[in-house]
Amino acid sequence: MKRISLTRFLVEEQRLNNNIPAELRLLIEVVARACKTISHAVGKGALGEVLGTAHSENVQGEVQKKLDILSNEILLEANEWGGHLAAMASEEMETIHPIPNRYPQGEYMLLFDPLDGSSNIDVNVSIGTIFSVLKAPEGMAIPTEQDFLQKGSQQVAAGYAIYGPQTMLIFTTGNGVNCFTLDREMGSWVLTERNIQIPVDTQEFAINMSNVRHWYPPVTRYVDEMLAGKTGPLNKNYNMRWIASMVADVHRILHRGGIFMYPADKREPDKAGKLRLMYEANPMSMIVEQAGGASTDGKQRMLDIQPHALHQRVPVFLGSKNEVELITRYHAEHS
């Protein structure tokens, strides 16, 4: 197999398609390097004394794990000094993190969920890092939280690293989705899949079924129809998978098709669901669309939503195009 490194891929991509400016290339390489460090810490587990809770809460009131905090610090430190960023924002930090003025300011802003799937950390199940890249406002002004509130369609890059049996990096700069595997001996990212495409039809769904009693009618209807199988209205038998790591569930869907759902439910008066628009839904939606899939909040295209808060939550329906269109239609019919 001819080995194409991440660096070579990025340089050639810039040369051929001119869609990865030099600073963005640097940004992706730095994020990839940080993910390698996180992967190393995750891989050590109890031997690195990184498992367990940190006895602190994040801005959403969720208990933080030691690895949540460590991964956040690794990403901040790696990205502060390179001159490619103007500011960062993280699921684990209440407010934005402007680049300290001892370092040069760059033209991009980076958002991340440093370690997604926290409930899986201590049980050795796949977890990941999700990232999203936006352009900073023109001029040299220090970005504010308001500057981050851009629609997902404004993202210039999005990706995730998955820490599973293999460590992989999947990202898009708006020109398809490519996958790199970490060669642990060499310490380098190697291109292992080009232009991933999600099958438009599927017989697999992912949802936390324990919440069934809290769902709204469009979701109950859709899941009931899937469970009815071949003799039901959808005319096929479905299988279910739920890893409880969005990164791992989306990774599976990218490769074999499927629909991932985290709906809003009756427990939350604001009908927002669990997942975060800026750190989870938007980057995953860009990846899924670039792979030929679809993503909505049940009502509209995810990437068209105008954010109103940094830590905003949103219902998520993404994956194989025909299924996402169906559940979105059910929402319209029940409204």
Binding residues vs ligand AHM (CB under 6 A): 62, 113, 116-119, 208, 244-246, 262, 274
Q: How far is the CB of 64 from ligand AHM (least distance, A)?
A: 9
Q: How far is the CB of 160 from ligand AHM (least distance, A)?
A: 10
Binder of residue 244, out of ligand AHM, Mg ion, none (CB less than 5 to 8 A by kind) = ligand AHM
Residue nearest Mg ion by beta-carbon distance: 116
Binding mask 56-95 for Mg ion (x = CB under 5 A): ----------------------------------------
State the distance between the two ends of the chain, measured CA to CA, in whole angstroms: 53
Binder of residue 24, out of Mg ion, ligand AHM, none (CB less than 5 to 8 A by kind) = none
The partner residues of 256 in beta bridges, in order of sequence, read none
Give how many residues touch Mg ion by CB under 5 A. 2
User: Which C-beta is closer to ligand AHM: that of 117 or that of 298?
Assistant: 117
Task: Say if residues 278 and 132 touch (Cβ distance below 8 Å).
Answer: yes
Check the annotation: does 6 bind a ligand.
Answer: no
In angstroms, rounded to a whole number, what is the distance separating the alpha carbons of residues 167 and 39?
7
Q: Sheet with 294-296: list strands edge to edge.
A: 239-240, 204-206, 259-262, 316-319, 294-296
Pairing of strands 97-98, 63-65: unpaired
User: Which C-beta is closer to ligand AHM: that of 62 or that of 224?
Assistant: 62
Q: How far is the CB of 124 from Mg ion (least distance, A)?
A: 18
Question: What phi and psi, each to the nearest 5 degrees, are found at residue 152?
Answer: -60, -25
User: Which C-beta is closer to ligand AHM: that of 71 or that of 202?
Assistant: 71
Q: How far is the CB of 253 from ligand AHM (least distance, A)?
A: 12
Give the DSSP per-residue string, 298-329: SSSBGGG----STT-B--EEEESHHHHHHHHH
User: Which C-beta is closer to ligand AHM: that of 144 or that of 208?
Assistant: 208
Residue nearest ligand AHM by beta-carbon distance: 246
Task: Say if residues 136 and 147 touch (Cβ distance below 8 Å).
Answer: yes
In angstroms, rounded to a whole number, what is the distance separating the alpha carbons of residues 222 and 234?
9
Check the annotation: does 62 bind a ligand.
Answer: no
User: Which C-beta is closer to ligand AHM: that of 257 or that of 263?
Assistant: 263
Binder of residue 62, out of Mg ion, ligand AHM, none (CB less than 5 to 8 A by kind) = ligand AHM
Task: Say if residues 242 and 206 touch (Cβ distance below 8 Å).
Answer: yes
Q: Which of 74, 142, 157 is nearest to 104 (CA)?
A: 142
In angstroms, rounded to a whole number, what is the distance separating the alpha carbons of residues 9 and 181?
13
User: Which C-beta is closer to ligand AHM: that of 191 or that of 253?
Assistant: 253
Q: How far is the CB of 9 from ligand AHM (least distance, A)?
A: 27
Check the annotation: does 91 bind a ligand.
Answer: yes
Check the annotation: does 113 bind a ligand.
Answer: yes
Q: How far is the CB of 91 from Mg ion (least distance, A)?
A: 6
Alpha carbon of 198 to those of 90, 126, 158: distances in Å?
Answer: 28, 21, 17
Check the annotation: does 77 bind a ligand.
Answer: no
Q: How far is the CB of 113 from Mg ion (least distance, A)?
A: 4
Element (H, E) at 276: none
Those residues with Cβ within 8 angstroms of residue 223's Cβ, 6 or more apart along the chain or in another chain = 205, 207, 209, 212, 215
Residues 99-128 touching Mg ion, rule: CB under 5 A, are 113, 116
Residue 150 structure tokens = 């851009």
User: Which C-beta is closer to Mg ion: that of 91 or that of 204?
Assistant: 91
Bind-site residues for substrate? 116-119, 208, 274
Q: Which residues are annotated as a binding site for Mg(2+)?
A: 91, 113, 115-116, 280
Q: Which residues are annotated as a binding site?
A: 91, 113, 115-119, 208, 274, 280
Give the residues lining the site for Mg ion (CB under 5 A). 113, 116
